[in-house]
Amino acid sequence: MHQVIELKRVTKAFGSLDRPTVALEDINMSVHEREFVGVVGPSGCGKSTLLRLIIGLTEPTDGEVYYRGRRVQGICEGMAMVFQTFALFPWLTVAENVELGIHGKQFSKDERRTRVLKILELMGLHGFEDAYPRELSGGMKQRVGLARALISDPEVLLMDEPFSSLDPLTATHLREEVLDLWLDPKVAPEAVIMVTHNVEEAVYMADRVIVLTSRPGRIARDIQLIMPRPRDPRSNEIYRLVDEITGIIA
């Protein structure tokens, strides 16, 4: 399996040198092609920081992050991120928000429009091009967030608590849709890294679950999930894993 992302001895501290807040400590991990990795851990253990380091929004204090063997320095082309609170611009329409995902790319105006309409169709947002975020439900806002991420055909999709702001039923539907996309070779990124505090969600969706300790976040366990899809969220195997992981975090 080819390695897409690699973190070597990554430590991230904030604050001053004499009184640092160590968010992440000595993280060694890699993500391979066609892997859906879930990252779980208690609040404040550095999950969001981990994603920001991977995409190059922030730099490690120590250690290195590699993308396809090349050191990540500055924001990484080829990756896209989905946020818990959607991060949409309220003054832009759905189409304009989604088009931001290919901002700076060399596409003609026509091609931009075609791409936007195609991805909106795929995300079930056909007909909402000219709507504003305030007119949409939470689930639809997150569809826009996903469309904005996927429009660039990212090789790596990073998701930070993507379903945590949604009501339970909407979250259930959107999880299924994300899994359908993941299993669709025409759309799927090479790798997905999903941060969540929801252990059930991680075990239900991911191929591997990385469990972080409370701050400073270190890798407590790296668990390969060998379960066929579609999975039954009420299966004994899922319950067993949720118990095991919850026990590590608590």
Ligand X SMILES: Nc1ncnc2c1ncn2[C@@H]1O[C@H](COP(=O)(O)OP(=O)(O)OP(=O)(O)O)[C@@H](O)[C@H]1O
Q: Give yes or no for residue 43 binding ligand X (CB under 6 A).
A: yes
Assess 113 for contact with ligand X (CB under 6 A).
no
147-175 CB burial, b ≥16 within 10 A, e <16? bbbbbbebbbbbbbbbbebbeeebbeebb
For 133, which DSSP code?
Answer: G
Backbone dihedral angles phi then psi of residue 83, each to the nearest 5 degrees: -110, 155
Contact pick of 68, 197, 221, 231 for ligand X (by CB under 6 A): 197
Regarding 196 and contact with Mg ion (CB under 5 A), the answer is no
Would you give the binding string for ligand X spanning residues 153-192, x where CB under 6 A is met?
A: ----------------------------------------
CB of 160 to Mg ion, least distance (A): 6
- For residues 31-70, one letter each, b for 16 or more C-beta atoms within 10 angstroms of the residue's C-beta and e for the rest, the string is bbeebbbbbbbbeebbbbbbbbbbbbeeebbebebbbeee
Position 47 contacts ligand X (CB under 6 A): yes
DSSP letters of 206-247?
Answer: -SEEEEEPSSSB-EEEEEE----SS--TTSHHHHHHHHHHHH
Which of 20/233 has CB closer to ligand X? 20
Strand partners, 61: none
- Is the Cβ of residue 4 or residue 23 nearer to ligand X in the bound state? 23
Give the interface segment with ligand X, choosing from 41-49, 99-107, 182-190, 230-238 (CB under 6 A): 41-49
Exposure of 241 by Cβ count < 10 A (0-12 exposed, 13-18 middle, 19+ buried)?
Answer: buried
Closer residue to Mg ion in complex, CB, 48/152? 48
Segment contacting ligand X by CB under 6 A, of 43-51, 66-74, 87-95, 109-117: 43-51
61 binds ligand X per the rule CB under 6 A: no
Piece in contact with Mg ion (CB under 5 A), picked from 40-48, 131-139, 179-187, 241-249? 40-48
Choose which of 11, 48, 97, 198 interacts with Mg ion (CB under 5 A). Answer: 48
CA distance 137 to 170: 10
Q: Decide: is 215 part of the binding site for ligand X (CB under 6 A).
A: yes
5, 69 contact by CB (below 8 A):
no
Select 23 or 158, whichever has its Cβ closest to ligand X.
Answer: 23
Question: Which candidate, 153, 207, 205, places its Cα nearest to that of 175?
Answer: 205
For Mg ion, give the closer residue by CB, 173 or 197: 197
Phi and psi at residue 207, to the nearest 5°: -90, -25
Q: Which of 29, 37, 40, 45 contacts ligand X by CB under 6 A? A: 45
Q: Which residues bind ligand X (CB under 6 A)?
A: 14, 21, 23, 41, 43-49, 197, 215
